[in-house]
Amino acid sequence: MAFVILDPCRGEKSGECVTVCPVDCIEEGPEQFYIDPDICIDCGACVSVCPVDAIVEEYDMTPEQEKYLDEAEEFFANR
C-alpha cells in the first residue's frame, strides 16, 4: 500500500510533504507532487502536513481517483 496525491495538489504544490518524507519518495512533477508507490513506507507523515488534504491511502481512493495512482506510477516509470 502507498499514499497517493490527488487533484487538490494541482496548482498548490506547497511542498511540505517533501520535507517530512523520511524516505524521499515524493517528487515534484509539472502540475503536482507525486509519491513513488514502490518507495513509500506508508508512514503517513505527508498526510498530516498537507495544507489542502490532497493525500490519501491507496485503498481509500474512490474509483474516480484511481487515475492519480496511475499518473504517479507513470511519472516514476518515465524518469
What's the grid cell of residue 75?
Answer: 511519472
pLDDT score of 4? 97
Q: pLDDT by residue for the chain (79 residues), tens digit each?
A: 789 999 999 988 899 999 999 999 999 999 999 999 999 999 999 999 999 999 999 999 999 999 999 999 999 998 7
The CA distance from 6 to 42, in Å, is 16
What CATH number has the domain bearing residue 31?
3.30.70.20
Task: Measure Cα distances from 50 to 8, 19, 56, 65 in Å.
Answer: 10, 11, 10, 17
Helix (H, G, I), strand (E, B) or coil at 53: coil
What amino acid is encoded at 4 in this protein? Answer: V
Are 47 and 55 a contacting pair, CB within 8 Å? yes
pLDDT score of 58? 92
Are 35 and 72 a contacting pair, CB within 8 Å? yes
What's the grid cell of residue 52?
Answer: 489542502
Kindly report whether the global pTM for this prediction surpasses the value 0.85: yes
Range of the domain at 59: 3-77
- The count of structural domains within the chain is 1
